[in-house]
Amino acid sequence: MSESYPAAPRDRQVGVTPQPASLADVLELVLDKGVVIAGDIKINLLEIELLTIKLRLLIASVDKAKELGINWWESDPSLSSGAPAAQGSGNGQAQVERRVAELEQRVEALTGEKPPPGR
Amino acid sequence: MSPLYAYGVLPADNTRSADQPPLPPGVAGSEVHLVAGGELAMAVSAVPSEDFAQDRLASRLEDAEWTAALAQAHFDVVEALFAQGPLLPLRMCIIFESADRVRAALADRAPVLTSTLHRLAGAAEWSVKVVRRPARSGGPPVPAEPAATSGADYLKRAAARRDERQDAGLAQARFVERLRGQLAPVVTADRDAPAASGHLLRASYLVRSDAAPVFLRVIEDANATAERLGLTVEIAGPWAPYSFVPRLQEAS
């Protein structure tokens, strides 16, 4: 599928050459929008929504997705534990959490007992 | 009998002239053709029931790569049809069991489909986004400040930096409002897309083809200002008016 659409040029901010639809645009348009006429074969809307999320995850690494402006899950607390720290410090909180998890594992290994939950 | 996968609704008299480029193949590789019913027609292509029957499609759609390829093929056909004349783009995965069922669906919805085709004739959808440019890498180096001499000094500097950020934020917000105001008289309709972080504006605009040059000039002029504010105006399109068609959910 990657050869079927051109990669977005890096210098898209120069001038106003309109861009062709990226795969992110395509998905947004054809999955979320357009006329819905009752067909004979039905897929329910929840399936479509889940699908949209999966596809957005598929088409891009997190960095690429940011570039495309589809990093909405970062600000959604139900999808990202780092949501409250999303502005400013970026992934700082994620790093801290990873580090805490590592240290907890080491404490567990050394003492044989789990540290108390919650912090 | 193969199911028919549908792409869009168009006027039935919209006959293709011979010099038009051929349509790309349909989502499963078979040729796209029109099923006419009354004054309307639906562009469809046959698809294999192994993938597109009711009990198969949901599991096929779980394969994200398969689905992404399907979305792209759907979009390519819609855009090729749209390049030839008025078209109401359908959402992905609207599938009928037979040409008769296609005609029945057209007949059911004929009034609203026809009036929407008239309303949208000659207009296309554009996407406009205003994004913050990532922190500068090429700009002039920021001179290092001498270390704060006291706690009060530190707090004063922190407050000054905060004020600077707030001023920049205000200027950016004013810029977006001004851009919206400049686009309003040029476009036929607009829809805001769901907000995404880092975006100050994410909107779809319906623009008549005769207004497109002015529309593009507004964006171009805005981009010069955007640059100074650390912003970029991104524009994509034109494509079929996906965001401006009625949803027409199932009647049931």
Q: How many Cβ atoms sit within 10 Å of the Cβ of residue B33? A: 15
Query: What is the model's pLDDT at position A64?
Result: 55
Query: Residue A32 region, left (φ>0) first, then alpha (ψ -120 to 50), else beta?
Result: alpha
Amino acid identity for residue A76 in this structure: D
Q: DSSP for A20-49, please give it.
A: PPPHHHHHHHHHH-SB----SB---HHHHH
Note which residues in 38-57 of chain A have CB less than 8 A from chain B.
38-43, 47-48, 51, 54-55, 57
What's the average model confidence in pLDDT over B25-52? 93
Buried/exposed A67-91: b ≥16 CB within 10 Å, e otherwise:
bbbbbbbbbeeeebebeebbeeeee
Which long-range contacts does B158-165 make (Cβ < 8 Å, 24+ apart)?
none
More confident residue, B241 or B139: B241
Q: Which of helix, strand or coil describes residue B127?
A: strand
- Note whether ipTM > 0.90 here: no
What's the average model confidence in pLDDT over B188-209? 86
Provide the edge-to-edge strand list for the sheet that holds B88-96.
B33-37, B40-46, B4-11, B88-96
Q: Which of helix, strand or coil describes residue B172?
A: helix
Query: What is the model's pLDDT at position B252?
Result: 38
Residues of chain A with C-beta less than 8 angstroms from the C-beta of B78:
30
- Say whether pLDDT at B44 is over 90: yes
What's the average model confidence in pLDDT over B190-211? 86
What's the average model confidence in pLDDT over B93-119? 94
Q: For residue B41, give the H/E element and its range.
A: strand B40-46
Cα separation, B31 vs B46, in Å, equals 8
Give B104's pLDDT tier (boundaries 50, 70, 90). Answer: very high
Give A4's pLDDT tier (boundaries 50, 70, 90). Answer: very low
Query: What is the model's pLDDT at position A87?
Result: 43
- CA of A99 vs chain B CAs: smallest distance (Å): 26
More confident residue, B225 or B251: B225
- Write down the mean pLDDT value for chain A: 64
Phi and psi torsions of B10, nearest 5°: -145, 165
Residue A109 at interface with chain B, using a CB cutoff of 8 Å = no
Residues of chain B with C-beta less than 8 angstroms from the C-beta of A71:
196-198
- Write down the mean pLDDT value for chain B: 87
Query: What is the model's pLDDT at position A22?
Result: 82
Residues of chain B with C-beta less than 8 angstroms from the C-beta of A28:
193
